[in-house]
Structure 1
Amino acid sequence: MTALDAAALGKRIAAVRKAKRLKQTDLARASFVSLPMVKAVEQGKRYPSDTTLEGFAAALGVDPTLLLSTHTGTETRVHAALPAISASLATYDMPVASPRRSLDELRTAVTETVHWRLAAQYGRIAQHAPALLVDVLTAFQTAQDKRTAARLVVTAARSVDAVAYKYGARDLSARLVDLMRSTVAYAEDPLLSASVAYVRTEVFFSARAHTAGIRALEAAVDAAPAATDENTAAALGALHMRAAVIAGRGGDAETANSHLAHARRLSEQTREGAYLGTAFGPECVRIHELSVAVSLGQDHIDGAFAAAHEWSPSHALPAERRSGFWIELARAQMWASRFDDAFASLQAARSIAPQHTREHPWTRETSATLLRLRRVDEESLHHFANWVGAI
């Protein structure tokens, strides 16, 4: 790439940043890169990697191709990484090398992947996942005290699973969930076990095994510690939120509302935040009220609009959670024939978390339906539907 290309890209990034009224420090913080990197890129002294470019795009709320028209996109790179991720799991019980990173180094790397997951930076996770999984598994197999290493395995596998699940690699996702379940006992942490039960629900979502999913989550609730502080309340509350959604998907409104009521009460004991990598708090519960109403179907759109009435998630919530709110609201708005509002909600989701929005099946379904009905600005919608792969 020539210096002229780097200079042109840097000027484009700077122009978009200024149009969004962001400082360079804001862009650095939101895209998880250093301030010197932002300055060097904008000055044309550094050419960003694909991962860095997508981090800038996500922070600026635009598609990466707006910054660089030749960008190939996250999807291509994620799918290219999936075989290596799968291979890294093949030797989970027989390390092929000595540990390459200390536990402290691995802890830092794993914590970073959690931040990327919550920010819906799936391309970054996929890029680092194969080596990270090999390293945490090697550390686990060779450690004398397996508690810390087991925790790292579970947390890393959860971040990688987010990529596998969202990009349709359901068999790989199930293997990662099995790895979490088989390893978590070594961590001797009942709250981490609760978080694994939360993630395991993906398997039931994929199989549409809603009743079994509810039973599994209710068993996890029974096994979890009592809510005596914020951490325990958040762990229980997250399980109840998840149970409410899967009950909604199964059409069981009574069970869904019962779990929502439990989650609501538990949220009163917590501040909004991420607990062991799961966002929980009053705002998260309100988002799940919308999610449950949408899961129950078109007859419950009044409940969806009540949950979203004159309210939207604050920036205190992870990008993935906030974009999910707008995607689900768009579905309800489409059902209510509020087509312009539905498209605006999809655009809001995209501005918050482009990768999450693009891979969400309801984004494709809603945009395809809007395009078929041709009830909103056709050129803009056509471009959006093409971006998400709906056409």
Structure 2
Amino acid sequence: MPDLPHDGLGRRIAYYRGVVRPKMTQQRLAEVACVSLGTVRKIERGERGVTDATLEAIAGALGVDPGRLRADRGPVQSAVQKALPALSAAIAAYDVPDDGPVRALPELRTAVFEAERWRLAAQYTRIVRHVPELLAELARGYHRAGMDERCELARLLVSAYRSADSVAFKFGARDLSARLVELMRWAVPEAEDPLLTASVAYVRTETFFAAHAYASGLRALEQALDAAPAPGEPLEIAMKGTLHMRAAVIAGRAGDVPAARSHLAHARLLADQISEGVYYGTAFGPDSVRIHEVSVAVSLGAEHVGLQVVRSGLPSLPVAGDPAHRATERRSAGGRRRDREGGPGRCRRGSPSSHRDREHGPDGRVREGQATGPRRRGPVRSLRCAQRGHDVSGLRSADRGLCGGGAVRRRRFFQWTEQSGLT
């Protein structure tokens, strides 16, 4: 296989190696990626190209999608688009799967958790290569299983459908995404898990965002809130909180100010009771709520409130590799669909947030795949854009306050925005 062009690729590999915490040495990268140390050194110096296989191994070792390391994103888009029909075929036969082998339940559990890890890290090429076969295998196992195993297989199916949905929605296959959401709703009753049912209701909201059916989406979320268990244990608190966060965003889109404020207030109260983390595949905690506050403020035309939230300080950065870090790497994690729900307006038409609309999802997070380059400054730029033609001095001072102070502080800010799902 021919080597890929190495224009800047080595620098990007070195950058991602440098921001991993704890920092990854060239020797460690070579060991994890199963390539020679000399190869890593030559690649980073730009002295040799990289094959697809080597690039995927290095990206896997760094915990990023190979597309983030490429200068040309075209091959990634093309590879995913070509693989989508296989995903469609896998779910078309969800109730009449082909005959074939089925691994033991612990192995299936590991494969599904790995797919969820790829989803949280936005590693779409890995998902689209492996999940179609996994879905077919899970369907076979589900229909063959006895009652004692069927419950867990239903849970695994829901998680795998969600991972597949992340690719479908990201790459514009809206009908396929809606079908995957419906399959999640089909499988979840067998799981006999009311918290998983709540998480499916959370994901389902993306279909209302895509259709601009905000009032209907708000009703669906409020019904899910009524049905969800009372918030006693941390998982119950987190799931109630994620639904309230989602409801606040969609209420903001609907222009329902009282509902948006009420749901955001409930989310704050619940977030104060637990730590930031991933709960049923969705990030929730104080930092997630603060990000949603910016989104809701901009949706309701209160950009100054969003600016105050940004000025109030940066969330602490978790260590790479732990669950909280994976949660913040990609907050669909914070619930998946920041990039999917459309933006609140267009600056070029005089509305507050065209820059945000082009680069961010409705709750203030940059669209997936935009985590590198100057667009990391989107959160502050969107607020500056909102005030264009008015007094922007305060916004500029906030920009300096967040990004000033030298390279270390700038990198910390960019890390925070990326890990928070703002990029």
Normalised-by-shorter TM-score class = 0.7 to 0.9
State the TM-score, normalized to the length of structure 2. Answer: 0.69
Give a deviation string over 1:331-360, Cα, whole Å, max 9, x none.
999799999x98xx98xx88x9636789x9
Give a deviation string over 1:142-196, Cα, whole Å, max 9, x none.
1113101000000000111111112111111111111010110111111100000
Note closer, same or farther for the CA distance 1:255–1:173 as it changes in structure 2 (3 Å cut).
same
Note closer, same or farther for the CA distance 1:200–1:35 as it changes in structure 2 (3 Å cut).
same
Q: CA RMSD in A?
A: 4.3
Deviation at 1:310, TM superposition (A): 4.6
Aligned to 2:198: 194
Give a deviation string over 1:295-316, Cα, whole Å, max 9, x none.
33xx321122122115344443
Note closer, same or farther for the CA distance 1:240–1:23 as it changes in structure 2 (3 Å cut).
closer
Aligned to 2:328: 318
- Is the 1:110–1:156 Cα contact (8 Å) retained in structure 2? yes
Please show how residues 145-156 of structure 1 align to structure 2 within 5 Å: 145=147, 146-156=150-160
State the TM-score, normalized to the length of structure 1. Answer: 0.75
Note closer, same or farther for the CA distance 1:199–1:15 as it changes in structure 2 (3 Å cut).
closer
Relative to its length, the structure with more helix (as a share) is: 1
- Is the 2:251–2:260 Cα contact (8 Å) retained in structure 1? yes
1:354 partnered with 2:382: no
Find the aligned partners of 2:167 and 2:21 in 1 and give their Cα distance. Answer: 29
- Is the 1:119–1:353 Cα contact (8 Å) retained in structure 2? no
- Is the 2:209–2:340 Cα contact (8 Å) retained in structure 1? no
Aligned to 1:13: 10
Aligned to 2:230: 226
Aligned to 1:140: 142
Give a deviation string over 1:205-245, Cα, whole Å, max 9, x none.
11111111111111111111111111000010000000011
- Is the 1:279–1:318 Cα contact (8 Å) retained in structure 2? yes
2:34 aligned to which of 12, 37, 40: 37
Aligned to 1:120: 122
1:273 partnered with 2:277: yes
- Is the 2:64–2:123 Cα contact (8 Å) retained in structure 1? no
Find the aligned partners of 2:338 and 2:185 in 1 and give their Cα distance. Answer: 29
Give a deviation string over 1:33-82, Cα, whole Å, max 9, x none.
9725365651679845354465578759994334xx6x643221111111
2:163 aligned to which of 159, 171, 175: 159
Note closer, same or farther for the CA distance 1:97–1:355 as it changes in structure 2 (3 Å cut).
farther
Note closer, same or farther for the CA distance 1:285–1:302 as it changes in structure 2 (3 Å cut).
same
Find the aligned partners of 1:270 and 1:174 in 2 and give their Cα distance. Answer: 32
SS at structure 2 position matched to 1:120: coil
Give, as a single letter, the amino acid of the residue that structure 2 aligns with 1:78: V
1:249 partnered with 2:256: no
Aligned to 1:64: 69
Find the aligned partners of 1:183 and 1:60 in 2 and give their Cα distance. Answer: 29
SS at structure 2 position matched to 1:279: strand
Find the aligned partners of 1:338 and 1:85 in 2 and give their Cα distance. Answer: 38
Give unmatched runs, 5+ long, in structure 1.
374-391
Find the aligned partners of 1:326 and 1:152 in 2 and give their Cα distance. Answer: 25
1:104 aligned to which of 103, 106, 109: 106
Find the aligned partners of 1:87 and 1:228 in 2 and give their Cα distance. Answer: 41
More off after superposition, 158-167 vs 51-60: 51-60
1:206 partnered with 2:210: yes
